[in-house]
């Protein structure tokens, strides 16, 4: 199991990316604060119960998913919080057909109880340029 014992925001985000690639809620769950709020294209989800449901639905709908985070920009970092902006990319199989997607993500991290947590995350499409 992937543990959230990372001391730096950069290491935390790398561990989170690895957990997402596992396609298991049990690996992803330790990265989220109990009061976390996540916004995806299909809605906003608040609290771990709602996050569990939506992540498990996503993991179940995409077979053999490969998920990556790249071009990370740390907009803010302190000993208590951090804000990361990044690109995300995924590919896998949906209903037996190759599928992929990408976009921009923002994760807000807080340091509480001697560890980092995601308190909010927003994943969306790239902005038109």
Please tell me the predicted confidence (pLDDT) of residue 6: 61
- CATH match for 9-124 among 3.40.50.10420, 3.40.30.10, 3.40.1190.20, 3.10.450.50: 3.10.450.50
Q: Do residues 120 and 38 touch, judged by C-beta distance below 8 A?
A: yes
pLDDT confidence tier of residue 2, bands split at 50, 70 and 90:
very low
What average pLDDT score do residues 25-44 get? 96
Indicate whether 31 pLDDT > 80: yes
Please tell me the predicted confidence (pLDDT) of residue 7: 80
Domain ranges of the chain: 9-124
pLDDT digits (tens, 9 = 90+) for 70-86: 999 999 999 999 999 99
pLDDT confidence tier of residue 128, bands split at 50, 70 and 90:
confident
Tell me if the pTM is above 0.85: yes
What average pLDDT score do residues 83-98 get? 96
Query: Structure tokens of 26?
Result: 């049990």
């Amino acid at each position: 199991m992937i543990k959230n014992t990372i001391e730096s925001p950069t290491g935390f985000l790398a561990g989170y990316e690895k957990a997402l690639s596992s396609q298991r809620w049990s690996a992803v769950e330790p990265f989220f604060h109990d009061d976390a709020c996540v916004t995806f294209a299909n809605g906003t989800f608040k609290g771990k119960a709602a996050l569990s449901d939506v992540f498990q639905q996503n993991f179940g709908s995409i077979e053999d998913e490969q998920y990556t985070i790249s071009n990370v920009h740390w907009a803010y970092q302190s000993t208590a919080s951090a804000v990361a902006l990044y690109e995300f990319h995924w590919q896998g199989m949906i209903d037996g057909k190759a599928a992929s997607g990408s976009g921009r993500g923002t994760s807000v991290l807080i340091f509480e109880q001697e560890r980092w947590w995601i308190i909010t995350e927003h994943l969306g499409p790239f902005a038109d340029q």
